[in-house]
Structure 1
Amino acid sequence: MKNQIKALLLVITFIFCHYGMKYFWGKSWIPILSELDQHTDLLLFPAKYLFIYGPFLLIATVLFKSIRWYELLGLNIKDSQRYLLAALACCTPMVIGYAFLSSELNISISGVVTGSIYAGFFEEVIFRAALFGILFRFCRWGFIPAALISSIIFGLGHIYQGHDVISALMAVTITTIAGTWFAWLYCECGYRIWFPLWMHILMNAAYGIFSMSGGAAGDLKGNLFKATAIILSIVYINVLIKGGKKREVTLSSLFKNQPNSSSLSIKTPTYGLNDA
């Protein structure tokens, strides 16, 4: 089957799952799962994610069955701990800034797990590694079209965070940009999802624990500290590139990923001591 037909099937399946599977979920599961996890949503959230996006992940692994599933989903564990340390370093100034701005703490284990860990893990694996990653790496889409289709859908999923038309548009725009940034981090980290995943989890956790206001759009002071994490992540990637890591997203791959591009390789690259 040609790559473009696979890409079309993948996008159609994803859109169906994202917008259609929610209607098959049904409300009858909610009280059952809520009772089992004592209303913490620790079972409800992953069950809902897997129910809605399970068909998409299954179709993706079937269409690209020659590729190991953990490579397809960006879950090769190589250097996952190093990515965690890098994400902690990048997010520390933001956390300190939020602590300075915050007037209250919201320390809830179930809240951190459901709002940060689950959200970061499932969204990065599904939107970035599975959808964007397959379109860019294996279907040979350019970075821009592959990132836009995943990031816009990701952004529309945050429209509820706006309380009026303007704030809703801002929430969608900012999360769309964030999705594109996460996609770039994924590419430049050897097509492993760990660095953007840890960044996503830590940023969400800091936002929730320190009860920052403004939803995805945030406020001016909060956004200034959030920008430090983004800037430091870009610096981190550029340090790796200067240390010998090959740049994955280039001008030539913005609109079409060429067949001989390294991004099509399913092998895990190694770059020595400065590997991402």
Structure 2
Amino acid sequence: MNHTIKALLLITTFIFCHYMMKEFWGDNWVSVLSDLDQQSALLLFPAKYLFIYGPLLVVATLLFKHESWYNVLGVDIEGFQRYLLAAVVCCTPMVIGYAYLSNALNLSITGIITGSIYAGVFEEIIFRAALFGVLFRFCRWGFIPAALISSTIFGLGHIYQGHDAISAVMAVAITTIAGTWFAWLFCECGYRIWFPLWMHIFMNAAYGIFSMSGGAAGDLKGNLFKATAIILSILYVNLLIRRGKPRQITLSTLFKKRPYFSSQHYKLATQNT
């Protein structure tokens, strides 16, 4: 089976999951799981994510059986702690800035888990690894077409955060750009999901804990502090590159098909960095 057919199968599966699987979910599961977790959504959210997007994860791993499932989904454990520490450092100025701007705290553990941890884990694995990552790494799409598909759908999923037409468009645009940035981090960090995942979790958590306003679009002051996290993450990746990590996103990989770059190749190339 050639790469074009595999890409079409993956995209078709994603469309089916994203738009059709919700119809099979059923209201009964919502009431049952909500009763079990006492309306906290701690069980409801992961169950719904896995039900809706489970077929995508299965198809992605079956299409590329020559690779381990954890490599296809970007969850190879190597780098887990290193990228956690890097994300903490990158997000610290933003957290301090939000604490300075905030007039209220929301320390709900349930809210942090459902709004930050679940969102970071599931959205990064689904949109960055299973959709973008497979199209870019294994189907040999260019970075821009692969990122546009995953990031645009990711952005459209945040349209509800706008309270009018203009803010809705801004929310979609900003989250689409954010999705592309997360995709870049995923590529440049060994095709492992940990760095964009931790960044996603910490940024969401800071936004929720300090009750920042403006939805995904944010406000001017809040966005200035958010920008510090983004800039520091870019500087971190460039530090890795200066230390010898091979750069993955170049002019030659933006639009054209690229040669397959396995996790083993990456480990060999970076073993001395």
Tell me the TM-score range normalised by the shorter chain.
over 0.9
The alignment's TM-score, normalised by the length of structure 2, stands at 0.97
Question: Which among 237, 256, 261 is matched to residue 264 of structure 1?
Answer: 261
After the TM superposition, which residues 1-276 of structure 1 pair with which residues of structure 2 at under 5 Å, given as runs? 1-259=1-259, 264-267=261-264, 268-270=266-268, 271-272=270-271, 274=273
CA distance in 2, matches of 1:220, 1:24: 41
User: Residue 256 of structure 2: SS of its match in structure 1?
Assistant: coil
Q: Which runs of 5+ in 2 are unaligned?
A: none
Identity of aligned residues (%): 74
Letter in 2 for 1:269: K
Deviation (angstroms), 1:87 = 0.1
- List per-residue Cα deviations over 1:118-171 (Å, max 9, x = no partner): 000000001001100000000000000000000000000000001111111000
- Alignment check: 8 A CA contact 1:137 1:257 kept: no
- Alignment check: 8 A CA contact 2:190 2:263 kept: no
- Alignment check: 8 A CA contact 2:155 2:176 kept: yes
CA distance in 1, matches of 2:221, 2:20: 38
User: Residue 12 of structure 1: SS of its match in structure 2?
Assistant: helix
Larger mean Cα displacement after TM superposition, 116-125 or 60-69: 60-69
- Alignment check: 8 A CA contact 1:143 1:249 kept: yes
Deviation (angstroms), 1:199 = 0.1
CA distance in 2, matches of 1:111, 1:273: 41
CA distance in 2, matches of 1:194, 1:258: 23
CA distance in 2, matches of 1:55, 1:6: 15
- Alignment check: 8 A CA contact 1:75 1:192 kept: yes
The alignment's TM-score, normalised by the length of structure 1, stands at 0.96
CA distance in 1, matches of 2:24, 2:168: 26
- List per-residue Cα deviations over 1:64-99 (Å, max 9, x = no partner): 112100000000110110100000000000000000
CA distance in 1, matches of 2:217, 2:2: 40
CA distance in 2, matches of 1:124, 1:87: 15
Letter in 2 for 1:264: F
Letter in 2 for 1:4: T
Count of equivalent residues? 271
Larger mean Cα displacement after TM superposition, 215-224 or 21-30: 21-30
Letter in 1 for 2:43: L
CA distance in 1, matches of 2:221, 2:263: 42
Deviation (angstroms), 1:258 = 2.4
- Alignment check: 8 A CA contact 1:186 1:192 kept: yes
- Alignment check: 8 A CA contact 1:67 1:266 kept: no
